[in-house]
Chain A
Amino acid sequence: MKGFFSFFLGLLLSVSSVFAQEDSPDALVKKVTEEVLTIVRQDKDIQNGNTRKAIELVEVKVLPHFNFQRMTALAMGKDWNKANAEQKKRLSEEFKTLLVRTYSNALTSYRDQTIRYKPTKMPGGDADVVVKTEILQPGGKPIQLDYSLEKQSEGWKVYDVIVAGVSLVTNYRDTFTQEVRANGVDGLIQMLSAKNKQLDSGKK
């Protein structure tokens, strides 16, 4: 009976450690990246610049792990608090569309790069981490690709993507601030939605 109990306990511990490992932010980044790249490597359409197909892939595989509300707030800085609930929803929707597009478009440039995952320092109990990876490309310098994640009730969510030190999110800060200053929050919504419409009409 005692043997059975310790066996059971051992099993329980190993199961929970598997779960803990699955849940860690660096494991999540690696899992999603590899899933996406495996598909891109086999998909000639995406490699030949089919953005629509790349967007579908990103929507299914990547999007659930992103927190777009947080991203929009980060892009807007102090102006985020000037928006009411309805405006926040629209801003996040439009900004999501734009980011998904940009990110998907980058995937169509994929050739034979491989990703190196750097060890992530996880101070105990920290709910906010940066997972560092590197894009290794033959004949070129490695490109840093970092993800900022925060822990939420449903697991870790990405709220920033940083390529070669450039945040795809905060790089909009000055542009958004200027627009809000000139035309208010609704002006920014307008600007984002016009941009998305324009990109959509040129979609392959």
Chain B
Amino acid sequence: MALVAGLSGCATTANNPKDPFEGFNRVMFSVNEGIDVVVKPVAQGYDKVAPTPVKTGIGNFFGNIADIWIAVNSFLQGKPADGFSDIGRVLVNSTLGIVGLIDVASEMGLEKHAEDFGQTLGTWGVEGGPYLFWPVIGPRNVRDTFGFVVDVSADPVPHVDHVPTRNTLMGVRFIDLRASLLPADKVVEQAAFDKYNYIRDAYFQNRRSAIYDGNPPPLED
């Protein structure tokens, strides 16, 4: 706790009530930027070298695995129609879509959803709590950090027994995810006066919208 207090002391602009640990978060943010110096070029190389059909296949493959947990969360959020559609996606894509490499379900009109346990907690009325920035994992408030831990424990990939297979899957998925963020990176670099602030404020808006499935009630001016 003393460490946290000490670190918040070095914050210069800590006046966002949702970000009481700004000083600590900014340190974690720069740690993350440091890690990204290594990760980003790998993602860029992957993005450049891998042919589009390969990248699409990889994205679809991991997207199909993710759809299982998305289905569970759709049900938990009281959206059974979405949940059944998510299950339908997994069934169709795992078979017709050749172990998920082709997203046949989207072609059939079964829309891909984006749900996670943090959103589920949000729809149950759990408040976000203070904002935190984690190295590698990125921005999460306390609720979404807890949600992330649950997401990870429900994720089948870390439970693959064959260690080299597991490590390959985890590594490829991570690089694929990082590569998918490259365009957003470019925009943030240009748009932001202060990258830390820009990402934090975007995180708040993005999560609020996600909890309301893209239709959040308007905010007061």
Contacts and interface: CB of A to CB of B under 8 A. Distances in A.
Contact of A77 (B60, B111, B221): B221
Given A102-B187, A174-B197, 18 more contacts: A102-B190, A106-B183, A111-B52, A138-B52, A139-B55, A139-B63, A140-B180, A146-B214, A164-B206, A165-B208, A165-B216, A168-B191, A171-B205, A174-B16, A175-B194, A178-B15, A191-B193, A199-B190
Nearest to A98: B191
Contacts of A106: 183, 186-187
Interface residues of A, number: 36
Contacts of A178: 13, 15
B139 interface: no
Given A112-B52, A164-B206, A167-B205, A141 B114 contact: yes
B13 A166 contact: no
Interface of B: 13, 15-16, 52, 55-60, 63, 103, 106, 111-112, 114, 180, 182-183, 186-187, 190-191, 193-194, 197-198, 201-202, 205-210, 214, 216, 221
A172 B16 CA distance: 13
A165 B209 contact: yes
A139 B59 contact: yes
Interface string A153-195: 0000000001011111011111100100000000000010001
A21 interface: no
11 contacts: A101-B190, A105-B186, A132-B214, A140-B59, A142-B111, A142-B112, A165-B207, A171-B202, A173-B201, A175-B197, A175-B201
Interface string A1-23: 00000000000000000000000
Majority SS at the chain B contact face? helix
Contacts of A166: 202, 205-206, 209
A69 interface: no
Nearest to B209: A165
Contacts of A175: 193-194, 197-198, 201
Contacts of A199: 190
A109 interface: yes
The 9 closest A-B pairs by CB, nearest first: A165-B209, A139-B59, A109-B183, A139-B56, A138-B56, A102-B191, A166-B205, A166-B202, A165-B206
Given A165-B210, A191-B193, A78 B112 contact: no
Contacts of A142: 111-112
A174 B207 CA distance: 17
A144 interface: yes
A112 B55 CA distance: 12
B197 A139 contact: no
A185 to B, nearest CB: 16
Contact of B60 (A108, A139, A165, A191): A139
